[in-house]
């Protein structure tokens, strides 16, 4: 059943929404749990129901009928140490995945018209700041496990398309409920977005937008709680569904969440222990005359009867097993999420003489992670490109043969620290030994921002030098 058939067979829009919800595959971890995990202030270690306050008995200075001191119960908070490892995992994954912008490579040779169309598509991406959009998109997917991008035509004053394309990010983290619909061949043929809008009086209303391959339907909830059509169903202006839906089954840290919980409980318990033993405590036997003032040095203590004794209570053997377990837990968290530990403390031990080959080997694991992410994002970004290609090609009057001739593949460049001097020397050696052309070496030179302009300048300089030799020949 297609989404349009489902819409027509539903008694009302609420029934239609429930059918989409029932058909959508549920995540193994509820969304609210994911929100709690990404927010350090909502971690288990912060909850008094899981890590309760400590009960202590305080003397009241009074005694009962038997002469025993009367004590009162006081609840003292314990140390609560959180570690935002979930955020670190997400941010480093985004950094390794998208520190270098995604490129789109066309297959085969393209004629002049097709090359011009690709230039127009790049212009649309620049106007939408797509490199920054991609980082935000990936962050939403890695945390919320799903997100979508909605492409739309910016209308003129008369409501007709202005020729400008814009993209909007949709995510549960931004209050959107995403309801994709797939046909019997597992092909997405429709998409619904359930969200809330606020009117001028500050009241919130639920709204549902439904997109099919040709049309868009909009429904808004009135004051009585009923959904009514907000506008007449209209064509959205694309020849296909203008939505790209991204989904992964788990958040980036799901496999190590229990380990992160253990790290926080260990650190919190350790902090409690330090509170007890961090400042000196004394055992006094007999009567001591006076005590030292704060900051006083060279103080001598003397007992009144000569038999007094005072000792400092110290922790003679701190539990090295705790630090050992913490080290292993941190290693598990980073290793099993394929996240490199690139903290300052770790990187400063490498020095500046590490070769490029050694660096590439060190970052094998995060690079493998990037390649695995291509499975999802490669397919979806190809769909994005085809949506924009078809829309711009139609708006700008390109022939269908020209539009169909462009077949692209997204290319990802995982981040890796570079030994710039080593790279330049390698390019120089390769170009001089005819293994690589000078033009290819210039394009890969990390010091060159605009290869085309640099090539023109080099050619112009070479031509000027040749002309100078002709005009001023040497004997």
pLDDT in tens, 405-431: 999 999 999 987 776 777 788 888 888
User: What's the farthest any 2 CA atoms get from each other in the chain?
Assistant: 124
The residue that leads in pLDDT, 322 or 333, is 333
Each residue of 28-55: pLDDT tens digit? 999 999 999 999 999 999 999 999 998 8
Residues in the chain: 475
Residue 19, CA distances (Å) to 45, 52, 181, 194, 214 in order: 39, 43, 10, 13, 21
| pLDDT in the model for residue 304 | 63
Q: Between 38 and 310, whose confidence is greater?
A: 38
- pLDDT at position 288 is 62
Give the per-residue pLDDT at 300.
60
Among 188-202, 282-296, 391-405, which stretch is predicted with the lowest mean pLDDT?
Answer: 282-296
pLDDT band with cut points at 50, 70 and 90 for residue 454: confident
Instruction: Return the pLDDT at 293.
Output: 57
104-108, 131-135, 296-300: least confidently modelled range: 296-300
pLDDT, residue 306, reads 64
pLDDT at 95: 93
pLDDT of residue 125: 95
Beta bridge partners of 251: none
Does residue 19 surpass a pLDDT of 80? Answer: yes
Q: Of the candidates 343, 317, 320, which has an alpha carbon nearest to the alpha carbon of residue 330?
A: 343
In whole numbers, what is the pLDDT of the chain averaged over residues? 86
Which range has highest mean pLDDT (23-32, 151-160, 279-288, 293-302)? 23-32
More confident call, 313 vs 13: 13
More confident residue, 199 or 132: 132
Q: What is the pLDDT of residue 383?
A: 96
pLDDT at 433: 82
Q: How far apart are CA 463 and CA 442, in angstroms?
A: 18
Q: What local confidence, expressed as pLDDT, does residue 178 receive? A: 97
Which range (168-177, 188-197, 416-425) has the least confidence?
416-425
User: What's the start-to-end Cα distance of the chain, in Å?
Assistant: 87
Q: Is the pLDDT of residue 475 over 60?
A: no
pTM for the whole thing?
0.83
3-state secondary structure the chain: CCHHHHHHHCCCHHHHHHHHHHHCCCCCCCHHHHHHHHCHHHCHHHCCCCCCCEEEEEEEEEECCCCCEEEEEEEECCCCCCCCHHHHHHHHHHHHHHCCCCEEEECCCCCHHHHHHHHHHHHHHHHCCHHHHHHHHHHHHHHHCEEEEEEEEEECCCCCEEEEEEEEEECHHHCCEEEEEECCCCCEEEEEEEEEEECCCCCEEEEEEEECCCEEEEEEECCCCCEEECCCCEECCCCCCCEEEEECCCCCCHHHHHHHHHHHHHHHHHHHHHHHHCCCEEEEECCECCCCCCCCCCCCCCECCCCCEEEEECCCCCCHHHHHHHHHHHHHHHHHCCCCCCCHHHHCCCCCCCCHHHHHHHCHHHHHHHHHHHHHHHHHHHHHHHHHHHHHHHHCCCCHHHHHHCCEEEECCCCCCCCHHHHHHHHHHHHHCCCCCHHHHHHHCCCCCCHHHHHHHHHHHHHHHHHHHHHCCCC
pLDDT at 337: 94
In terms of pLDDT, which residue wins out, 223 or 13? 13
pLDDT band at 231, cuts 50/70/90? low
Lowest-confidence region among 73-82, 119-128, 256-265, 346-355? 346-355
34 or 452: which leads in pLDDT: 34
Q: What is the mean pLDDT of residues 187-195?
A: 94
pLDDT at 122 (0 to 100): 94
């Amino acid at each position: 059943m297609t989404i349009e058939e489902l819409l027509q067979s539903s008694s009302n829009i609420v029934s239609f929404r429930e059918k989409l919800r029932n058909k959508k595959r549920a995540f193994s971890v509820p969304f609210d749990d994911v929100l709690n995990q990404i927010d350090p202030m909502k971690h288990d270690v912060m909850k008094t129901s899981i890590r309760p306050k400590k009960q202590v008995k305080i003397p009241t200075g009074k005694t009962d009928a038997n002469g025993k001191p009367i004590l009162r119960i006081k609840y003292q908070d314990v140390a609560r140490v959180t570690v935002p490892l979930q955020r670190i995992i997400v941010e480093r994954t985004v950094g390794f995945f998208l520190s270098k912008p995604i490129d789109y490579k066309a297959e085969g040779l393209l004629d002049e018209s097709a090359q011009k169309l690709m230039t127009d598509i790049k212009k649309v991406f620049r106007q939408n700041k797509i490199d920054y959009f991609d980082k935000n998109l990936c962050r939403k997917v890695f945390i919320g496990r799903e997100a979508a991008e909605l492409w739309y035509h910016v209308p003129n004053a008369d409501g007709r398309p202005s020729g400008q394309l814009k993209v909007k990010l949709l995510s549960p983290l931004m209050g959107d409920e995403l309801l994709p619909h797939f046909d019997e061949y597992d092909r997405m043929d429709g998409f619904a977005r359930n969200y809330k809008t606020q009117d001028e009086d500050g009241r919130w209303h639920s709204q549902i937008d439904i997109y099919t391959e040709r049309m868009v339907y909009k429904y808004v909830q009135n004051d009585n709680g009923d959904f009514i059509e907000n506008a007449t169903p209209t064509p959205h202006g694309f020849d296909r569904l203008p939505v790209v839906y991204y989904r992964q089954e788990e958040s980036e840290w799901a496999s190590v969440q229990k380990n992160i919980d253990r790290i926080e409980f260990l650190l919190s318990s350790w902090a409690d222990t330090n509170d007890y033993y961090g400042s000196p405590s004394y055992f006094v036997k007999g009567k001591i005359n006076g005590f030292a003032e704060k900051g006083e040095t060279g103080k001598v203590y003397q007992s009144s009867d000569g038999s007094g004794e005072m000792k400092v209570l110290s922790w003679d053997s701190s539990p090295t097993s705790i630090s050992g377990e913490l080290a292993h837990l941190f290693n598990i968290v980073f290793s099993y999420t394929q996240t490199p530990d690139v903290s300052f403390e770790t990187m400063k031990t490498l020095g500046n003489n590490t070769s490029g080959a050694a660096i590439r080997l060190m970052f094998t694991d995060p690079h493998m992670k990037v390649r695995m992410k291509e499975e999802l994002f490669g397919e979806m970004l190809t769909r994005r490109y085809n949506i924009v290609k078809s829309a711009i090609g139609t708006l700008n009057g390109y022939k269908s043969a020209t539009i169909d001739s462009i077949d692209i593949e997204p290319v990802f460049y995982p981040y890796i620290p570079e030994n710039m001097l080593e790279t330049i020397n390698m390019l120089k050696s390769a170009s001089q030994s005819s293994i690589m052309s000078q033009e290819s070496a210039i394009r890969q030179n990390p010091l060159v921002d605009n290869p085309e302009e640099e090539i023109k300048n080099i050619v112009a300089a070479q031509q000027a030098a040749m002309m100078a030799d002709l005009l001023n020949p040497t004997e």
